[in-house]
Chains A and B, each alone.
Chain A
Amino acid sequence: MGQITLQGVQKSFGPVHIIKGADLDIADGSFVVFVGPSGCGKTTLLRLIAGLEDVTGGAILIDGKNVVDTPPAKRGLSMVFQSYALYPHMSVRGNIGFGLKMAGLRKDEINRKVEAAAATLNLTPYLDRKPRELSGGQRQRVAIGRAIVREPKGFLFDEPLSNLDAALRVQMRIEVTRLQKQLGTTAIYVTHDQVEAMTMADKIVVLNAGKIEQYGSPLELYERPANLFVAGFIGSPKMNFVTGDSAAQRGAATIGVRPEHLKIERDGGGGWQGTIAVAEHLGSDTFLYVDAGPLGMLTARYIGELSLHAGDRVSLVPDPARIHRFDASDNAIRN
């Protein structure tokens, strides 16, 4: 079991409020991603759950038991650090088995568990190497091995893939997700990369300035963002925001349209007129950055190749069913 509940969790460092009251219910076995811009408090929130920081207020329940006064090791959670934090003088075997050794397990039992964990992660040939003799991806797997070998109630990942190159990151993303599903252990994963968040999560927590902006499944966040911040943060390229007349006509202070929901037409059609400033041709997609005069820069996405170039004039027609409306205090207006 690994049900984690936060009730009004607060954290201040002196006069600075980092977490301003977080309430969250994480179901057993789910994969939850904390995402937000840097400085939003996502890592602090993770460290509070881990027990590496003390809460200023509120309660953290693991399986219904308040653990705010429990030391980290007794909470039954294990953590994968951004820098991996492998012990440099220990072999892979020593690194993975360290927690078990500290728990006072017998040697043969430690060996059996370490070897099982290593086999899951394809680390068996490297068991007797030192961390410095491993590649980045292998080190990452050792760090994960150290987390899974203790059979915790939950995994905590602190931006674990940010030190890997792009190709490896995609591969590890898939491996981590598959491993979590296979083990069925609750996982909390912190990242600033919304692609990681969208692809890995069962549920995403969007944090901004110490507040939970929205908690929901990836598609929920994409289709029904609760406010302007979530709308702008989730989705790539970023959602276009238009204020003024176009918004007022639809009874909103701001309207948002995702680049993929703008229909690109020849100049002179309806919608918003503009000149292409930059056209990016990826083959699979075409991104147009359009200077739409008073509306500012708009981004449009076309699936497939579109032979338009910088300087061409186009008009962009928003899909009326896909327009997000926000009120003056930036909250979404629901029909």
Chain B
Amino acid sequence: MAAFFPKFYFDAFSFREAAATSLESALREIPRMATRQTQFLARSLLTPAVGLLFIWMIVPLALTIYFSTLHYSLLDPGSESFVGLENFRYFLTDPAFLASLQNTLVLVGSVLALTILLGIPLALLMDQPVVGRNFVRLMVIAPFFVMPTVSALVWKNLLMHPVSGLFAWLAKLVGLMPVDWFNDVPLFSVILIVAWQWLPFATLILLTALQSLDEEQKEAAEMDGASAISTFIYITLPHLARPITVVILIETIFLLTVFAEIFVTTGGGPGLQTTNIAFLIYSQALIQFDVGSASAGGLVAVVIANIVAFFLVRIVGRNLEA
């Protein structure tokens, strides 16, 4: 059941977009390079791949749309009946929906801000010639390769645990009361974990961009009398505009679907404090066993992802042109 895996919708969404754009550009290329025979050849060779992609995408989507119009509870099998848009009304008017929408946006926004604001200075540091630079880079990149479930477990049990965690030990060392992270500041804790995972990605992209900054431009700025700070503001930062855009777009796609970190640490709670849209859909399907409502939620999530994508492309996508 596609609806049981809410992440799939977002992936299908991004995947579909990517496939569509690459196909479009591929098809646009054809007339320029070719005679009629090679055009026909190219199209017929492309067809199986395009067809497979299309089926891959359309079957789950169609099934989800179908389920979203049914009363379909796993607790009551065999009682499926058509209910029209009732599932959507139920999902959208659920107080949990607005709370989780807010949590989703806060999570995405905070992680983006943290990874970029910390990623820029980190990238600047790593761009400096230091001994063992390659090793430092490897270490900085490492968190990105740790599975979300594993890193969430490490953070939960080894770092943030109020009794045996490293942070609690540090707090006691300086005579402070240990923080009970997942009870006192649950959403912030999740944000920290996710930001830790995505910081290497942002750093890496920004670092490669820094390395492509023309050395002569910095020298020209030096001749022009710019201080290190002015050089950063007027030369380096504008140069980073495009990679920052790339980081924002790519991270957003993945951050909208954060699930494992929440599932492992807080289970969406306390209350609804760490429930995002992805986790809400999961709980509809596998805690309340309501497939119809979960499917409706999945479709709502697709719409939300599209709305976010629309605004993102309008706001930051300009940087990608030319």
Q: Is the CB of B224 within 8 A of A146?
A: yes
Q: Does B216 contact A (CB under 8 A)?
A: yes
Q: Does B226 contact A (CB under 8 A)?
A: yes
Chain A residues with CB below 8 A from B230, complex form: 102
Q: Is the CB of B216 within 8 A of A103?
A: no
Task: Look across to chain A and name the residue whose beta carbon is closest to the beta carbon of B215.
Answer: A85
Total A-B contacts with CB atoms under 8 angstroms apart: 60
Q: Is the CB of B238 within 8 A of A85?
A: no
Chain A residues with CB below 8 A from B322, complex form: 132
Task: Look across to chain B and name the residue whose beta carbon is closest to the beta carbon of A77.
Answer: B223
Chain A residues with CB below 8 A from B216, complex form: 81-83, 85
Q: Report if A52-B225 is in contact (Cβ < 8 Å); known contacts: A102-B230, A132-B322.
A: no
Q: Does A106 contact B (CB under 8 A)?
A: no
Chain B residues with CB below 8 A from A119, complex form: none
Q: Is the CB of B223 within 8 A of A102?
A: no
A132→B235 CA distance, assembly (Å): 16
Within the complex, the shortest CB–CB distance from A110 to chain B, in Å, comes to 12
Chain A residues with CB below 8 A from B235, complex form: 87
Within the complex, the shortest CB–CB distance from A91 to chain B, in Å, comes to 12
Q: Is the CB of A73 within 8 A of B223?
A: yes
Q: Type the 1/0 row for A49-65, where 1 means its CB is closer than 8 Å to any CB of B.
A: 01010000000000000
Q: Does A78 contact B (CB under 8 A)?
A: yes
Q: Type the 1/0 row for A25-54, where 1 means its CB is closer than 8 Å to any CB of B.
A: 000000000000000000000000010100
Chain B residues with CB below 8 A from A50, complex form: 223
Within the complex, the shortest CB–CB distance from A77 to chain B, in Å, comes to 8
Task: Look across to chain B and name the residue whose beta carbon is closest to the beta carbon of A100.
Answer: B224
Q: Does B214 contact A (CB under 8 A)?
A: yes
Q: Type the 1/0 row for B200-232, where 1 means its CB is closer than 8 Å to any CB of A.
A: 000000000000001011011111111100100
Q: Is the CB of B222 within 8 A of A72?
A: yes
Q: Is the CB of A87 within 8 A of B234?
A: yes
Q: Is the CB of A98 within 8 A of B223?
A: no
Q: Does A79 contact B (CB under 8 A)?
A: yes
Q: Is the CB of A98 within 8 A of B238?
A: no
Q: Is the CB of A99 within 8 A of B214?
A: no
Q: Does B239 contact A (CB under 8 A)?
A: yes
Task: Look across to chain B and name the residue whose beta carbon is closest to the beta carbon of A104.
Answer: B225
Q: A79 is contacted by which of B214, B220, B225, B234 (Cβ under 8 Å)? A: B220
Q: Is the CB of A85 within 8 A of B217?
A: yes
A82→B214 CA distance, assembly (Å): 12
Q: Is the CB of A98 within 8 A of B222?
A: no
A149→B81 CA distance, assembly (Å): 79
Which residues of chain B from 51 to 69 have a CB within 8 Å of any chain A CB?
none
Q: Is the CB of A102 within 8 A of B214?
A: no
Q: Type the 1/0 row for A81-108, where 1 means its CB is closer than 8 Å to any CB of B.
A: 1110111111000000011001100000
A88→B222 CA distance, assembly (Å): 16
Which residues of chain B from 257 to 301 have a CB within 8 Å of any chain A CB?
none
Q: A73 is contacted by which of B214, B222, B239, B241 (Cβ under 8 Å)? A: B222
Q: Is the CB of B224 within 8 A of A99?
A: yes
Q: A81 is contacted by which of B220, B226, B241 (Cβ under 8 Å)? A: B220
A167→B32 CA distance, assembly (Å): 33
Task: Look across to chain A and name the residue whose beta carbon is closest to the beta carbon of B235.
Answer: A87
Most buried by A among B219, B221, B223: B223
Q: Is the CB of A102 within 8 A of B224?
A: yes
Chain B residues with CB below 8 A from A82, complex form: 216
Task: Look across to chain B and name the residue whose beta carbon is closest to the beta carbon of A50.
Answer: B223
Within the complex, the shortest CB–CB distance from A75 to chain B, in Å, comes to 9
Chain A residues with CB below 8 A from B222, complex form: 52, 71-73
Q: Is the CB of B226 within 8 A of A98?
A: yes
Within the complex, the shortest CB–CB distance from B223 to chain A, in Å, comes to 5
Q: Is the CB of A98 within 8 A of B234?
A: yes
Chain A residues with CB below 8 A from B221, complex form: 87, 98
Q: Is the CB of B224 within 8 A of A85?
A: no
Q: Is the CB of B224 within 8 A of A81?
A: no
Q: Is the CB of A83 within 8 A of B219?
A: no
Q: Is the CB of A73 within 8 A of B220?
A: no
Q: A83 is contacted by which of B214, B225, B227 (Cβ under 8 Å)? A: B214
Within the complex, the shortest CB–CB distance from A50 to chain B, in Å, comes to 7
Most buried by B among A88, A102, A132: A102
A325→B166 CA distance, assembly (Å): 83
Task: Look across to chain A and name the residue whose beta carbon is closest to the beta carbon of B322.
Answer: A132
Q: Is the CB of B223 within 8 A of A78?
A: yes
Q: Is the CB of B225 within 8 A of A87?
A: no
Q: B219 is contacted by which of A85, A90, A98, A99 (Cβ under 8 Å)? A: A85
Chain A residues with CB below 8 A from B238, complex form: 87-89
A88→B214 CA distance, assembly (Å): 10
A52→B224 CA distance, assembly (Å): 12
A79→B225 CA distance, assembly (Å): 12
Sample of 8 A–B contacts (CB below 8 Å): A73-B224, A73-B226, A87-B234, A89-B239, A99-B224, A103-B225, A132-B322, A150-B224
